[in-house]
Amino acid sequence: MSVIAESVEMDRAGGARSETLRTVVLEWEETSRHRLAVNVPSDWTDDAGDLGDEVAEVSSDAFLYVERDEFTWTPTTFQPGAPSLNLEL
């Protein structure tokens, strides 16, 4: 992910100003891994039924980890109430 260290100038639309922060819209992908022992019908195969919806109902304790990658960012109008990230530059 690219981070540009520069002061924010007065927003072109006349919005709020910050000398040390600017607002960007972040977008990313997440991949998560889960593991859960479940009981299924004895004749079950992995192509029967909607497995995704079924495990969503019971998988709250199955979470192992999440990976976040493929970050992109787009500058936007400065938003003083947006969360601040403490990024090392």
Q: So where are the chain's domains?
A: 29-71
Please say whether the beta carbons of 29 and 69 come within 8 A: yes
Size of the chain, expressed as the number of residues it contains: 89
Residue 11 DSSP label: P
Span 1-51, pLDDT tens digits: 444 433 344 444 445 557 788 999 999 999 999 998 988 889 888 776 778
Q: For residue 76, which amino acid is it?
A: T
Span 51-79, pLDDT tens digits: 888 888 886 788 899 999 999 999 999 99
Please say whether the beta carbons of 58 and 36 come within 8 A: yes
List C-alpha distances in Å: 20 to 10, 17, 38, 62: 12, 9, 51, 41
Q: Does the pTM of the predicted model rise above 0.85? A: no
The two structure tokens encoding residue 8: 């924010």
Residue 81 DSSP label: T
